[in-house]
Amino acid sequence: MTKVFDTDLAAGFGTRAIHAGQRPDPLSGAIMTPVYLTSTYVQDALGQNKGYEYGRGTNPTREALERNVAALEGGRHGFAFASGMGCLDSILKLFRSGDHLICGENVYGGTVRLLDQIWSHLGLQVTYVDTRDPQRVDDARTDRTAAILVETPSNPLMRITDLAAVAEIARRGRALLIVDNTFATPYFQRPFESGADLIYHSTTKYLNGHSDMLGGIAIVQDDALADRLKFLQNAGGAVPGAFDCWLALRGTKTLHLRMPCHDANGRRIATFLSERMGAERVRYPGLATHPQYDLARRQMSGFGGMVTLDLGTRERAATALSRVRVFALAESLGGVESLISHPASMTHASVPAERRAALGITDGLVRLSCGVEDADDLLADLDQALRGL
């Protein structure tokens, strides 16, 4: 194989995005990783195979994606799953009944649902903590604390967790620091550099970037932890199909082109909304008025396209959502197209109402996923949608 393929970690981000984990097809030399649509592999003789036995265990298209995203995060091992939730569900199988997990109080609604309505019933003890304050994380630790799970920036309140500070707390308590890096992506934030043990993504979002598949991926450095995840991936079987892996892999090839554009549009829109509606109504870590702006700048190299706006009431939120023409009313985020959503009734509907209220996920909150359309068109769309509000 020529050197450009299977790029090592010393190469730049864009070179890794395009090449890492991939090599020309050995049969034809096809430069694009083929979609290996097969459930099984013919063996040469009893006990002799080419390293592939059955599709749940291994698939070459899936492996290319796993190696690619692992290289982008600066990790050593990747494990792809059928969705972000399927990925987290498999990660949680690392633990045992009676183990204690500290979870950021503002995380994706489906994460809360999975923990409270499935894993708590199976004996996992969960404490939700405002992880903006590392001291609170430390105070929540018990001698059964096996892991700390954080999402930063958080969804939809755009709160930041100091990853290095929490990694130090996790290390002292021999707990794993697990980071949901879906919002920032490795282009803007690399949690391993701050001491995280396990990073996961909903590849459905920015990594794929085109809203045409569902997937999740877990990345680790440690070989022993990788062995356990590999076992869980095959034993639990929540694996993605080869075509979805191929779509995600096509997406990661342009991550370094898309993210600066999401970021530029996010900054312009957040600035516009802050001037028009008042800074206290807009949450975006790249605004100097964000309470954790300094931490965000230290920990991230850009802020992405997620902006949250507080319109005060459900009625005003509904009016804005009904008027948009370029932004589309839909759940999800991270695609090239701009989306607008209402967290209280959509992504966070599974969080109990009183908990939503305590957190500040109010009925007036609207979440924007700024796509990569022309910023002027997005601004004009929001301008008309917010008229009189």
Q: Is 182 in the site for ligand PLP (CB under 6 A)?
A: yes
Q: For residues 321-380, which are near ligand PLP according to CB under 6 A? A: none
Does 83 interact with ligand PLP (rule: CB under 6 A)?
yes
Q: Is 85 in the site for ligand PLP (CB under 6 A)?
A: yes
Q: Indicate whether 180 belongs to the interface with ligand PLP (CB under 6 A).
A: yes
SS (H, E, C) the chain: CCCCCCCCCCCCHHHHHHHCCCCCCCCCCCCCCCCCCCCECCCCECCECCCCCECCCCCHHHHHHHHHHHHHHCCCEEEEECCHHHHHHHHHCCCCCCCEEEEECCCCHHHHHHHHHHHHHHCCEEEEECCCCHHHHHHHCCCCEEEEEEECCCCCCCCCCCHHHHHHHHHHCCCEEEEECCCCHHHHCCHHHHCCCEEEEECCCCCCCCCCCCCEEEEECCHHHHHHHHHHHHHHCCCCCHHHHHHHHHHHCCHHHHHHHHHHHHHHHHHHHHHHHCHHHEECCCCCCCCCHHHHHHHCCCCCCEEEEECCCHHHHHHHHHHCCCCEECCCCCCCCCEEECCCCCCCCCCCHHHHHHHCCCCCEEEEECCCCCHHHHHHHHHHHCCCC
State the nearest-atom distance from the C-beta of 272 to ligand PLP, in Å. 24
Residue closer to ligand PLP by CB (options 61, 182) is 182
Q: Which stretch binds ligand PLP (CB under 6 A): 82-90, 116-124, 242-250, 375-383?
A: 82-90
Q: How many residues contact ligand PLP, by CB under 6 A?
A: 15
Told to judge if 180 belongs to the known catalytic residues of this protein, a careful annotator would answer yes
| Minimum distance of ligand PLP from residue 320's CB (angstroms) | 21
Give the one residue of 108, 192, 206, 272 binding ligand PLP; rule: CB under 6 A: 108
Active-site residue, from 36, 108, 128, 187: 108
Choice among 205, 267, 283, 356 that is catalytic: 205
- Tell me the residue nearest to ligand PLP as measured from the CB: 84
When asked if residue 189 is in the footprint of ligand PLP (CB under 6 A), the reply is no
- What order do you get walking across the sheet with 100-104 strand by strand? 77-81, 216-220, 198-202, 176-180, 145-151, 100-104, 125-129
Report if residue 178 touches ligand PLP, rule: CB under 6 A.
no
Per CB under 6 A, 151 contacts ligand PLP = yes
Examine the residue annotation and report whether 205 is marked as an active-site residue of this protein: yes
Least Å distance between CB 287 and ligand PLP? 20
Residue 174 falls in the annotated catalytic set: no
Q: Applying CB under 6 A, which of residues 7, 131, 204, 233 lies at the interface with ligand PLP?
A: 204
Work out how close the CB of 10 gets to ligand PLP at its nearest, in angstroms, rounded to a whole number.
30
Q: How far is the CB of 294 from ligand PLP (least distance, A)?
A: 23
**Closest approach of ligand PLP to the CB of residue 371, in Å:** 15
Q: Is 108 a catalytic residue?
A: yes
Positions touching ligand PLP (CB under 6 A) are 83-85, 108, 110, 151, 155, 180, 182-183, 202, 204-205, 214, 216
**Catalytic positions:** 56, 108, 180, 205
